[in-house]
Chain A
């Protein structure tokens, strides 16, 4: 036993030590209390925000895309509600097992199966929905409703499909829509000041944006603005309740200047040939017809196509995706002659009375090189009027020879060559208006006089798109004034373009028009076969683009055995004269004759437009 002193010492020691421990605990507790205080009081706002962010999920609500109309108010592209079978791809472990379970209820054809298998991995990875089958029938819906419990990760819901009523007619003009990619969606959401929310992928499902044509150019107007649903969710992201619903703003409808009937005529006329037709309403500069053939169905592209079908289109030698109207580069050939003629008059090189002998060829004085016309033996004595009607190359070789190249280039650029002529075309090409600098930089050669001579008949390095040719045709028809081309009327930014020609008056323009009328109406005109196809007067200039240079008709017969070597057929036309309302350009690849091959297409389109 311990004695009393020791008992006292022990009690004191115990007391001291217990105090030591509790003082230590006191510190720990103070620190704890401080931490709690800073969490709950000092940093309260931050944590309150974090707690709200935790339980709040925002779901984007898609706007309905605007409808696209033609100029008479007929619907070209609409949104069609369809009942689709949709799966949450990320929740399905084995897609093949899923498809085989599904097959007794909803049958998928091989294209649909391909589409599902190809897209499954991607959709699963990004937690997006995958549309297994579009446009279910009532019977399929009923069948699925009965046995749907077997497929917890699949459901039927309304989705809007972009439906073009004329899927092949407007494939290049109107274009197609497609699924939005992450960058595109991010920038769309940015523009609407919407947060880049974590669930971005999930709710962008089925959202489409314009990829080509007007769908792309006017995408901002057509697509509308996202709405928002704000939900409360639990930790697993499961829906608890709806808090707020901001309705989406649907896209605006687009009233275009396109004319379905003219478009149909142009498309039918082109048949299975490769080429392009562009028709313009002259006063307004509006595009009424815009065709590039061969074409493809925009509905298939917009709403899901199997890669097999897609590859077939991609690998088609005729390149159906290629928009020949605004991207195809063709030498203008003889269709350039009216512009060259105006240059000659403006610069006093020639006048309407000037005439010369056309022996069928032009010899360049510098190197004695021979430039041949299209007709052996030539056209005899030709003045400007006759040179236009018979398309005398010799006359224009000679005229170009006397021209200053730099002035000539500037002159041609006023007619739209080498420049952008359309305010709202999708990705138009400027083609090429060659300059001496261009030749030096690209071909490492100086500019030869022969290059200028070739320019006089629209051959050589010069190229233009059918769209530029249509614009050129409009400028000619309107005597030098025109507007930038456009698919809609109301655009505010349309430029008025006036060409100031010196030494040229209205009479010169009338005589030029008269000579272009002669191309069709004169018995010696290069497009005289078109006379019977119409009931009014049309001004035109045909052209034949030489792809392979040959000296004789016999040589040409040999090279034309290969279709790809045949000349391109080309024509510009406007009418009805004398007050033309519509201008048109037609290019038919390897069509051989501008007058008799491209011509009928141009006349048919004008007929459909003028007839109204």
Chain B
């Protein structure tokens, strides 16, 4: 139940279901991270600070009226795009990718900002457009989505790029994109697949996809991660090996155990039962988001809640699909669980905005 606690002169906007489930998830995340980092308490302390700060941000961002986000959405996206450009110029290069801006005390992954700014801006752009969305507005929206996707993709960061792209498409779709347009463009995309394959994928990405289709073609190269991840998950069995007892994680067979592959650590140590319990929290959060979207006060709020929650769900499913080997490795954290800075905070920010959209009611509503 969403709540508006009214004090003398001001109200506090708060959704206890989301707040409690996200807090529990974050605490479990810390608990898993301690094992995944092989008992490195420093990692856990650092992560706790992010979690604490994240929860605080979530609370703060729940407070402004949705109109605040609607009004400033253009400003947000301009800022986000400027940050992307800044990254391109001043960014710190790691492994051939420029994704981070260094602010001294904090390095910011700027694509995480745009991942939030784009859906909000699109919601504010489309909320008053008549149904179905006209071709003109569709193209303007698509142009913006593609532009932002390209910015992220060129860092290069295909994984986040895809999530950003999907975020945009979700809003467009939920806002009432015409079905005719959907089917026509779907047909065109299928036809242009070979062209995309040849011109937009880096050789290593093509290799990943090929390896994914036929893992035996490359037993110790790109698919090493997946093989080890599957062994970790599979060897966990029904009830798991026990906390901190996962040999795959603790003997370093599992790559990226603290970040992308933390799910494999959990699956190894807590088994099928453990992950079902864990995933029920995510399931609950998503259900809650659907409920909130339906009960939102207007179309802008609905679109924003729908868009941001779908971004969250997509991130989760990409991560899970990657870890169990049903989609190629793209590099995607598990929300609220994986170790991270910007990426972790972005989810608290999203949910802060979702809560704001859900809890503020227009008094003049019929």
A binding-site residues for B, Cβ under 8 Å = 1-2, 4, 6-7, 9-11, 13-15, 17-18, 21-22, 25, 28-29, 31-33, 35-37, 39-41, 43-44, 46-48, 50-52, 54-55, 232-236, 240
Contact = CB atoms under 8 A, between A and B. Distances in A.
B326 A6 contact: no
21 contacts: A1-B128, A9-B131, A14-B293, A15-B294, A21-B173, A22-B286, A25-B317, A29-B317, A32-B317, A32-B320, A32-B321, A35-B325, A40-B237, A50-B234, A51-B232, A51-B234, A54-B247, A54-B248, A54-B253, A232-B251, A235-B251
A601 to B, nearest CB: 65
B326 A31 contact: yes
B235 A2 contact: no
Interface of B: 128, 130-131, 170, 173-176, 228, 230-238, 247-248, 251-253, 267, 271-272, 275, 279, 286, 290, 293-294, 299, 302-303, 306, 310, 313, 317, 320-321, 324-326, 366
B296 to A, nearest CB: 9
B326 A41 contact: no
A51 B252 contact: no
A40 B176 contact: no
Interface of chain B, helix or strand or loop or mixed? helix
Nearest to B247: A55
Contact of A10 (B176, B235, B237, B252): B176
A40 B252 contact: no
Which 4 pairs across A and B sit closest by C-beta, in order of nearness?
A47-B234, A51-B235, A235-B252, A234-B251
A18 B306 contact: yes
B272 A14 contact: no
Given A18-B174, A40-B236, A10 B131 contact: yes
Given A2-B128, A32-B321, A39-B324, A44 B234 contact: yes
A25 B321 CA distance: 12
A32 B306 contact: no
A32 B174 contact: no
Contact of B251 (A6, A39, A233): A233
Contacts of B271: 40
Nearest to A48: B235
Contacts of A2: 128, 130, 299
B288 to A, nearest CB: 13
A54 B231 contact: yes
A13 B324 contact: no
Given A39-B230, A43-B234, A44-B234, 6 more contacts: A10-B299, A33-B279, A37-B272, A40-B233, A51-B231, A51-B234
A2 B325 CA distance: 46
A11 B295 CA distance: 10
A37 B45 CA distance: 33
Nearest to A49: B235
A45 to B, nearest CB: 9
Contact of B131 (A13, A51, A234): A13
A21 B313 CA distance: 10
Contact of B306 (A14, A25, A35, A54): A14
A541 B335 CA distance: 99
A41 B170 CA distance: 35
B176 to A, nearest CB: 5
A44 B303 CA distance: 43
Nearest to A54: B253
Given A10-B131, A232-B251, A48 B299 contact: no
Nearest to A50: B231
B247 A14 contact: no
Contacts of B247: 51-52, 54-55, 232
A36 B267 contact: yes
A584 B293 CA distance: 108
Contacts of A13: 131, 176
Given A48-B237, A55-B247, A17 B252 contact: no
Contact of B253 (A1, A37, A55): A55
A14 B126 CA distance: 13
Name which of A37, A39, A240 has the most chain B CB atoms within 10 A of its CB: A39
Contact of A47 (B231, B272, B306, B317): B231
A224 B290 CA distance: 72
Contacts of A48: 234-235, 237
A40 B234 contact: yes
